[in-house]
Amino acid sequence: MPKPNTGAYPSQIKLDVWDTAGQDEYQAMNRNFFAGAHCVIVVFAVDSPSSFQSIETHMYNIDSYCSKDVIKILVGNKCDLESGRHINYDDMMDKGTDLNIRCFETSCLDAKRSTINELFNEISLMLCQANVARSTAGSFKIKA
């Protein structure tokens, strides 16, 4: 989670994670999934050009159903692939720059599993920082 507690951030935060896997049967429920979300993670597989191409559709849904200050994250999964990779790191970063969002690469393989921890640690920190900025406006607070 966030850096060691110095009093500025909670030592623990709870993350509720909903995974729709981009499946069509969940599209009608997007409004419910996105309601009140503080962060949305769009994941694509680096070996699937079609999943990379669907990013724009997901971003449209996020912009339609989430608040304007929602944190958006783009994640390229399966970064462990040596061959079969169709979307390279630079393409992902260019897309992130175009969309003005943070990008990460992850893998669930043991040798790269730390990438998932790093992703959620960074998200936790971003949420804490956003909470500090928003708490003065009274928008929301992270419950620790």
Concatenated DSSP letters of 46-101: TT-HHHHHTHHHHHHHHHHHS-TT-EEEEEEE-TT-SSS--S-HHHHHHHHHHHT-
Which one is predicted more confidently, 35 or 7? 35
Per-residue model confidence as pLDDT tens digits over 63-96: 888 888 889 999 999 998 888 999 999 999 999 9
Mean pLDDT rounded to a whole number for the chain? 79
Q: Is the pLDDT of residue 55 over 70?
A: yes
With a threshold of 0.85, does the pTM exceed it? Answer: no
- Domain range 24-129, CATH class: alpha beta
Residue 136: predicted pLDDT: 44
Report the alpha-carbon distance of residue 31 to residue 81 in Å, rounded. Answer: 34
Amino acid letter for position 74? L
Helix (H, G, I), strand (E, B) or coil at 136: coil
Concatenated DSSP letters of 19-37: --TT-GGGGGGHHHHHTT-
Per-residue model confidence as pLDDT tens digits over 111-122: 888 888 899 888
Domain boundaries defined on the chain: 24-129
Q: Is the pLDDT of residue 26 over 90?
A: no
Report the alpha-carbon distance of residue 66 to residue 58 in Å, rounded. Answer: 11
Q: What percent of the chain has pLDDT over 70?
A: 74
